[in-house]
Amino acid sequence: MKQKLEEIRAAAHEALAGELNLDALEQLRIKYLGKKGEITAVLKGMGKLTAEERPVIGALANEVRSQVEGMIETKKAEIAAKIEEVKLKAEVIDVTMPGRAQERGELHPLTKVMNNIKDTFIGMGFEIADGPEVELDYYNFEALNIPKNHPARDTQDTFYVSDNVVLRTQTSGMQVRVMEKQKPPIRIIAPGKVYRSDAVDATHSPVFHQIEGLVVDKGVTMADLKGTLEMFIHRLYGDETKVRFRPHHFPFTEPSAELDISCFKCGGKGCQMCKGEGWIEILGCGMVHPKVLANCGIDPEIYSGFAFGIGLERIAMGKYDINDLRLFFENDLRFLRQF
């Protein structure tokens, strides 16, 4: 056994002196020191030795094991050092080379206009209300006085997830959710994405943005609605912008109106953008229908309110003189860098 241990020591020394990688080193460790390794095999045979031979062979076996372990650790450190050296050489940085300038991004034009609108209404005491884009049919239609058999549903191409779940066609559902949970006075805007099954062209998209507004309190009148929206328009387009209200019909407001502004391109003289009329439609608005208030548990005999809906893309197109809505969604840097 003494001869065998000396042979193991010599063989291990020779094997560990060569070029090795970590995998090969691990194989040698298993070969000599593993549970089924050569040194372990020698130790298992010590039961056949005499009482005098056992301590001598045991001491030699421990010496050989210790030496092999030391050689393996030394080799492992050498390999690790070489790997680190190669890695450092590969990652070397020439600090004398000129740096690469980091291109600074900018907010998307829709985000800029949205932030501008939010700031304007927050300055008038409004709060932001946020809610689900996948909405229940009840909040998207029925609570807003648009039952299943209402003709207004024929004018809205809706994406239905199921019979009672839709991709919201307007953010008005948030108005209902707020009125259900909060007692008047209420003053909120609900910005967000909405979805309608429209073919994509210069003025239509199946995905766009709306900002719905709602005020409910005692004594709220049409004059409050007009004053609020006129201030909003003047903050957005300038004090020289003219505003007019045209009678209209919406199921959830009564009376209802469309708000037009003097054309931002020609100043009201008539041009191609306003189709010679001098006015551009901006948003719909009106006094909250008493039935909508009642649906939300608010007594229409005590409280009144107004609501409005703003198309973000339409506002942004007017503000930046953009004639194709698709530009907002195509991510063309040539377009976006202008803002």
CB 128 within 8 A of CB 189: yes
Q: According to the model, what pLDDT value does residue 154 have?
A: 65
Q: According to the model, what pLDDT value does residue 208 have?
A: 93
CB 237 within 8 A of CB 120: no
The C-alpha atoms of residue 170 and residue 177 are separated, in whole angstroms, by 13
Q: According to the model, what pLDDT value does residue 155 have?
A: 62
* SS3 label, residue 323: coil
Which CATH superfamily does the domain covering 109-336 fall into? Answer: Bira Bifunctional Protein; Domain 2 (3.30.930.10)
Band of residue 201 on the pLDDT scale cut at 50, 70, 90:
confident
Token pair of 45, please?
Answer: 């045979």
Judged against a pLDDT cut of 90, whether residue 125 lies above it is answered with yes
34: DSSP letter:
S
The C-alpha atoms of residue 108 and residue 12 are separated, in whole angstroms, by 67
Tell me the pTM.
0.67
**What is the average pLDDT score of the chain?**
87
The C-alpha atoms of residue 187 and residue 178 are separated, in whole angstroms, by 10
Across 45-73, average pLDDT: 77
Residues in the chain: 339
